[in-house]
Chain A
C-alpha cells in the first residue's frame, strides 16, 4: 500500500525564518495531496492541498510544490510566526474511496 514519508521530523527556527518540509510517497496512482496542521492539543486542520495535475499551489505564506516524476512534495512556509508552531502532516489519497495515507508528521517550533 501507499507509504508516505516526511522529513525532517522536527524543526526549530527563529521567527521570520523560512522552512521547508519534504514529503515523498510510493504509490504512483495517488492523485490528491492535502496537508494538515495540528496545534498542541487541537484537532487537525486542513491548510493546503494539491492535485497530481498541478506543480505548484500557493496560499498566502504557504507554497506547495509537487513533482509527479519523483513522487515528491515540498511545503515552503515563509516569514514564520510563533502561531505556526505545530505538527504538519503530509497525506496522499489514491483512487480508493477517499482513504488518506499520512506521513508521521513534522514538528515545527518557531521561537519568538
Chain B
C-alpha cells in the first residue's frame, strides 16, 4: 500500500488564485519534503519539515508556503498562483538524518492558466 499519498492528483488553477496541495504519509517519518519537477531540471526542493508545526525553506521557496499540522500531513500553499508555477509537485518523506531513503508520493500535476 502507498505510504505517501497526495491530493489532488491534478489541478487546473487560475492565475492569482489560491492553491493548496496536500500530502499524507503513514511511514511514521519525521521528515517531509515538497519538490517541483520541471522538464530538464530534475527535482528542486521548495520546503521541508522535520517536526510538526515547523517548516523550513528549501532552494526555491519564493511564491510558496508550507504547513505541517501533524507528523502525517504536509501541505504546500500557493497564495497567488502564477503561470510559472505550472509543474508537477512531489511530496516525500524520510526517517531522518544520514543516509535515509526518501519515499515519494505519486505527484500532483498543476496547471495554472
Which of A's residues lie within 8 Å of B, judged by CB?
A: 1, 4, 6, 9, 31-32, 34, 36, 42-46, 49, 51, 89, 93, 97-105
Contact A46 B107 (CB under 8 A): no
Residues of B contacting A101 with CB < 8 Å? Answer: 45, 59
Contact B105 A43 (CB under 8 A): yes
**CB < 8 Å A-B pair total:** 63
Instruction: Please judge, given known A-B contacts A97-B48, A102-B43, A104-B41, whether A51 and B99 are in contact too, CB under 8 Å.
Output: yes
Bound CA–CA A97/B50 (angstroms)? 8
Interface residues in B55-113 (C-beta closer than 8 Å to A): 56, 58-59, 90, 92, 94, 96-107
Contact B48 A105 (CB under 8 A): no
Residue of A nearest to B59 (CB): A1
Residue of A nearest to B2 (CB): A43
The 6 closest A-B pairs by CB, nearest first: A102-B42, A44-B104, A102-B43, A32-B99, A104-B42, A43-B104
Contact of B97 among A9, A98, A100, A105 (CB under 8 A): A98
Residues of B contacting A99 with CB < 8 Å? Answer: 45, 48, 58
Instruction: Please judge, given known A-B contacts A44-B104, A49-B101, whether A104 and B94 are in contact too, CB under 8 Å.
Output: no
Contact B106 A43 (CB under 8 A): yes
Contact A44 B90 (CB under 8 A): yes
Residues of A contacting B101 with CB < 8 Å? Answer: 34, 46, 49
Q: What are 11 contact pairs spanning A and B, CB under 8 A?
A: A4-B42, A31-B99, A34-B99, A43-B106, A46-B101, A89-B42, A97-B48, A98-B31, A99-B45, A102-B43, A104-B40
Residues of B contacting A44 with CB < 8 Å? Answer: 43, 90, 92, 104
Instruction: Please judge, given known A-B contacts A32-B99, A49-B101, A97-B97, whether A43 and B42 are in contact too, CB under 8 Å.
Output: no
Contact B56 A97 (CB under 8 A): yes
Contact A105 B104 (CB under 8 A): no
Instruction: Please judge, given known A-B contacts A32-B98, A32-B99, A98-B94, whether A89 and B48 are in contact too, CB under 8 Å.
Output: no
B25 to chain A, nearest CB (A): 12
Residue of A nearest to B40 (CB): A104
Instruction: Please judge, given known A-B contacts A4-B42, A99-B48, A104-B40, whether A49 and B99 are in contact too, CB under 8 Å.
Output: yes
